[in-house]
Structures are given as structure tokens and as C-alpha cells.
């Protein structure tokens, strides 16, 4: 192994990482940690410290990366032995752009844009690196293709990384003694038989394409379920490009044709049986043609690489249209679903603070807002609109697939809030029912809504009881009914 690449001393690594200080820690896994280091000559590197070298795939990774050299494969610069502990370290080139999963998450949280062209380019780069592995003799099987293992350098070039599970074979398929991979990405046939093929690797790449499109990981822990129970993205999509369009990550601003072509390609990668899937060299050709098409038609909407927060202040028209207290609809966390709320504050650079009807608040650009049904103005429609049907009818998606971009955990989709006219009608009906039921004694009011006696136990934290004589209640009810009728008529006139 010493003949294959350069060795580093443990002291070199300690100096590069300030004694493996926590400030240099990039991440940690089940087999060790990854640190950022600066060598004596100023070269920035990533140092993977394997505390269990045998299980961490130390020899396999050295064997594969010392044999294969390609611009889209991370460069392994050397290794080191830790004499006191028996640990091993692998020294790689440092990719300052992070991994694709981090970039998707940051984009969904509007911290750093990861646009459609960038995602397509990253997919092409990854496919090039994997095609190189599968068209050499002997060929290499990566066995853990996922977005976390696609790294981007400072120039945006993507490189395949983490070859701890990789294996070499002169045949087109290889039987492994221990199945490895990541839930959701790993091919079901490979998990069942232990037979790794190029088709099994293509399946994993197809799941990466779907993740780049939707921003949703391919497997999400089932809420309230047992450990190891997951909901799978592919089961929900069922090969439907329309469902992919509904779930598109809005922060990527994919053009419809580009998203459709990528989704069709992803579904071809996940076909059963595996013999019907394209090879990596075919994927490279199709992705390259798709990227070239974007270059020929110019710089479309999806490739805007400016910061998500607008640099210029909002126009006076937008400021007036979305004044404080205005009822609006906004894409929750930049996702495919729109929810109703109202503007509670304005910030600089064209940002509005929106409070949704369930109480959650979020900073949303003015350009991503639209007027809620029943408002007296027509707000500008945001550019990335993918859902079909009326604006107040968001796509019907299972709650377990609407994932929080920060941690991949599912969140519950709130029911569609009531419009102003609907609320007034319900108020009138409830008051009328309360008068008939309670006679001259009592009416029950809830903070922000009206309820009945039978709901009192469920809403005990919000209810307050108001008791008054019968004649007082009749006068109050008549007055409220008159006001409610006036509001309903006004709503109809505004509509």
C-alpha cells in the first residue's frame, strides 16, 4: 500500500488540524470524523479519521482511489497511521462547496441558492465520475451513491466521494458478502440478492435526481412508527411526472421542460427489472444534451445565481399591495404548498414577515407572495408556479412527504384555512344555534372563534364564559347578526 501513494505522519495531521480541534471538525459518522486541515504548504485538505479501519473501508477506499483518476472523483492525496490508537486517516482534496444534500437544505431555507442549472450540472458531473468507474477494467462499484457523497468544489464542479463500500470486479456484476448502502437510495434488488450491478447503481443515481428536483430525501422516518419504518418518495410518486411537478423545490426555479426531462430520466433509472435501465454513459449523454439546450436558449429563470434576498428595495406598488395586516398566500419554506396568513411586518430588501393561520412566522420575499381569496387587490403572481387548479387549492400530498429541509423530518400539513366570508357565515350559524340552545341564559365564546357547549371540554384552555340576562343577550345577538350580515354583503361586493 505504501507504493501506491504518499504517506503522511500523524504529526503532520495534528499540525494541519490544530491537534484535531473541534473548530476544524466538518462532520462525524459511525466510523470516525472528518476534519478540515491546512498542510505546511498551505494546501487545504479534508482528513477522514477512521477509528475502525476494517469496517470503515480503509483498504477498499485506498485501493479504488489510487487506481482511478478523474476530474469528477475526489482526489485521495495520501494516508496516515496513528501508532498509539491503531486508527487510520485518509487525506483528500478539500471541496469548499459542501455536499449536494447540504446545498439543497440551505437553498430550501433561503440561505444559499442552489439553482436548477447548478443541480443539473452537479448531476452531470456525478454521472461522468460514475461512468468512468463502470467503464474501466476492472470496474468499480461505488455501492453508496447518494447526495451526501456528491461534493462540490469552490468552482461548482461535483465529485463523487466516500468509497468506503466500493469494490472492484472484472465482471459486470459482483456478489458481496455484506450488503451496504443507504435507505431509500439502495436498489431493492441489490438489497434482496446481494448482487451489485451497474443497474443497481443507476437506481441510486435516479433517486438522487428526484431529490435534486423535489428537495425531498428518498426515505423519511415514519412519524410515530417503529424504528426502521420509512415512507419512500418513489412509492408516492409512482412514476408520475405530474406529481414531481407538484413537489418541485421552488427555490431551484426549474423550467417546466427541464424538470419534466429530468423526472422522466429519473424514472427510467428506477425501472424494474434493472436491465431496462440506462447505462451511465447514456445518462452522461442525455444530461449533457439537456444542459447544452439550456445554454443555447440563454440564461433561463432557473439559473439565476444571485442571492435569494433581493438587493434592491421593493417597489411602492408591492409595498402598498402587501401592507401590514394584508391577507396573503405564501409558499411555506419555499416548498410546493401554499398556505394562507397575513403580513405582520416589513423588513429591508423586499422581505415581508408572514404569520400563517397556524401561528408560525416566516420571512418571505414580496415577489413570492400573492393575495389571498377575498382581498381587494390583485397581487403580482410569483414566477415559480407549478401547482394546478385554483390558488387556494394546494396539491394534495401525504403529510409524511412534506419534509423539513433542515433535518428531513416530516411535518403535518395544516388544513386549509377559512376565508373571511366562510368565517362570517359560520359565526352567524353558531350564534343562531347558541341562542336557540341556551335561551335566556348563556352564550359561549372562544378566543378568535365561536364554539358550542359540547366543545367546551376540548377547548378549555381557550374558552371563556360570558353570562348575561336574557333580554341583554337578545339585544347583543341582534346587533351581532346585523353586523355579520353587513360584513357578508361587503365581502360579496368586494369579490
Q: What is the DSSP string of 102-118?
A: HHHHHHHTTSS---HHH
pTM over 0.85: no
> How buried is residue 476: exposed, middle or buried, by Cβ count under 10 Å (0-12/13-18/19+)?
middle
Catalytic residues: 144
* Other residues' Cβ atoms within 10 Å of the Cβ of residue 71: 13
Domain ranges of the chain: 7-93, 100-303, 310-381+394-417, 420-494
H or E element, residue 292: helix 280-296
The pLDDT score that the predictor gives to residue 459 is: 36
Q: What is the DSSP letter of 177?
A: S
Q: Cell 483528500, residue?
A: 92
Domain 100-303 has CATH 3.30.70.1520: no
Into which CATH architecture does domain 310-381+394-417 fall?
Answer: Roll (2.30)
> How buried is residue 462: exposed, middle or buried, by Cβ count under 10 Å (0-12/13-18/19+)?
middle
Question: In the numeric block, which cell numbers belong to residue 133?
Answer: 468507474
**CA–CA dist 455, 198 (Å, integer):** 60
The pLDDT score that the predictor gives to residue 106 is: 94
- Starting at the edge strand that comes first in sequence, how are the strands of the sheet with 361-365 ordered? 361-365, 351-356, 338-347, 327-331, 370-371
**CA–CA dist 349, 406 (Å, integer):** 24
Task: Please name every residue paired with 88 in a beta bridge, in sequence order, or none if there are none.
Answer: 50, 81
Domain 7-93 has CATH 3.30.1300.10: no
Q: How far apart are the first and last CA of the chain?
A: 77
User: Are the CB atoms for 328 and 354 separated by under 8 Å?
Assistant: yes
**CA–CA dist 401, 246 (Å, integer):** 12
E strand map for 113-154: 139-141, 150-152
H or E element, residue 480: helix 470-494
H or E element, residue 467: strand 463-467
Pair type for strands 173-175 and 167-169 = unpaired
Q: Do domains 7-93 and 100-303 have the same CATH topology?
A: no
How confident is the prediction along the chain (495 residues), in pLDDT tens digits per residue?
333 456 788 899 999 999 999 999 998 876 778 999 999 999 999 999 988 766 556 777 787 888 888 999 999 898 888 888 888 889 999 999 999 999 999 999 989 999 999 999 999 999 999 999 999 999 999 999 999 999 999 999 999 999 888 889 989 999 998 888 899 999 999 999 999 999 999 999 999 999 999 999 999 887 766 677 888 999 889 899 999 999 999 999 999 999 999 999 999 999 988 999 999 999 999 999 999 987 655 444 444 444 444 334 555 667 777 888 888 888 776 666 677 888 898 887 778 888 887 777 888 888 788 877 654 443 333 334 333 333 333 333 343 343 333 333 333 333 344 444 444 445 444 444 444 444 443 333 333 333 333 333 333 333 333 334 455 545 665 676 677 666 665 655 555
Q: What is the DSSP letter of 410?
A: B
The pLDDT score that the predictor gives to residue 373 is: 67
User: Are the CB atoms for 107 and 75 separated by under 8 Å?
Assistant: no
Q: What is the DSSP letter of 348?
A: T
The pLDDT score that the predictor gives to residue 2 is: 37
Amino acid at each position: 500500500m505504501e507504493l501506491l501513494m504518499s504517506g503522511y505522519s500523524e504529526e503532520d495531521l495534528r499540525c494541519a488540524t490544530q491537534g484535531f480541534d473541534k473548530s476544524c471538525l466538518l462532520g462525524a459518522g459511525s466510523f470516525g470524523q472528518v476534519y478540515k486541515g491546512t498542510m505546511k504548504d498551505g494546501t487545504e485538505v479534508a482528513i477522514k479519521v477512521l477509528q475502525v479501519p476494517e469496517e470503515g473501508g480503509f483498504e477498499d477506499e485506498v485501493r479504488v482511489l489510487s487506481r482511478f483518476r478523474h476530474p469528477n472523483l475526489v482526489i485521495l492525496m495520501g494516508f496516515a497511521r496513528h501508532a498509539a490508537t491503531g486508527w487510520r486517516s485518509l487525506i483528500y482534496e478539500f471541496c469548499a462547496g459542501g455536499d449536494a444534500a447540504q446545498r439543497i437544505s440551505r437553498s430550501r431555507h433561503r440561505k444559499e441558492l442552489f439553482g436548477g442549472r447548478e443541480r443539473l450540472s452537479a448531476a452531470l458531473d456525478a454521472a461522468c465520475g460514475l461512468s468512468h468507474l463502470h467503464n474501466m477494467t476492472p470496474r468499480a462499484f461505488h455501492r453508496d451513491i447518494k447526495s451526501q457523497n456528491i461534493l462540490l468544489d469552490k468552482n461548482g464542479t461535483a465529485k463523487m466521494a466516500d468509497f468506503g463500500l466500493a469494490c472492484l470486479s472484472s465482471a459486470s456484476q459482483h456478489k458481496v458478502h455484506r450488503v451496504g448502502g443507504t435507505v431509500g437510495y439502495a436498489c431493492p434488488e441489490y438489497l434482496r440478492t446481494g448482487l451489485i450491478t451497474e443497474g443497481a447503481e443507476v437506481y441510486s443515481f435516479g433517486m438522487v435526481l428526484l431529490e435534486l428536483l423535489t428537495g425531498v430525501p428518498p426515505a423519511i422516518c415514519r412519524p410515530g412508527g417503529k424504528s426502521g419504518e420509512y415512507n419512500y418518495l418513489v412509492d408516492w410518486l409512482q412514476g408520475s411526472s405530474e406529481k414531481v411537478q407538484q413537489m418541485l423545490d421552488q427555490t431551484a426555479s426549474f423550467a417546466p421542460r427541464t424538470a419534466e426531462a429530468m423526472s422522466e430520466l429519473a424514472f427510467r433509472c428506477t425501472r424494474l427489472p434493472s436491465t431496462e435501465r440506462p447505462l451511465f454513459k447514456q445518462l452522461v449523454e442525455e444530461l449533457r444534451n439537456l444542459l447544452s439546450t439550456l445554454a443555447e436558449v440563454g440564461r433561463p429563470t432557473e439559473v439565476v445565481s444571485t442571492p435569494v434576498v433581493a438587493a434592491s428595495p421593493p417597489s411602492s406598488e408591492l409595498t402598498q399591495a402587501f401592507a401590514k395586516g394584508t391577507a396573503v398566500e405564501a409558499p411555506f419554506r419555499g416548498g410546493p404548498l401554499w398556505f394562507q396568513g397575513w403580513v405582520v411586518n416589513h423588513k429591508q430588501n423586499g422581505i415581508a414577515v408572514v404569520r400563517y393561520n397556524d401561528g408560525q412566522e416566516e420571512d418571505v420575499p414580496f415577489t413570492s407572495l400573492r393575495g389571498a381569496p377575498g382581498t381587494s387587490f390583485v397581487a403580482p403572481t410569483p414566477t415559480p408556479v407549478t401547482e394546478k387548479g385554483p390558488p387556494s387549492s394546494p396539491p394534495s400530498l401525504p403529510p409524511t412527504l412534506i419534509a423539513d429541509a433542515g433535518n428531513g423530518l416530516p411535518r403535518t400539513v395544516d388544513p386549509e384555512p377559512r376565508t373571511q366570508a366562510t368565517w362570517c357565515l359560520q359565526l352567524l350559524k353558531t350564534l343562531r344555534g347558541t341562542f336557540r340552545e341556551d335561551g335566556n341564559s348563556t352564550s359561549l365564546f372562544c378566543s378568535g372563534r365561536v364554539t358550542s357547549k359540547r366543545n367546551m371540554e376540548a377547548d378549555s384552555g381557550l374558552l371563556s364564559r360570558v353570562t348575561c340576562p336574557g333580554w341583554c343577550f337578545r339585544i347583543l345577538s341582534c346587533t351581532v347578526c346585523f353586523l355579520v350580515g353587513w360584513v357578508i354583503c361587503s365581502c360579496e361586493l368586494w369579490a
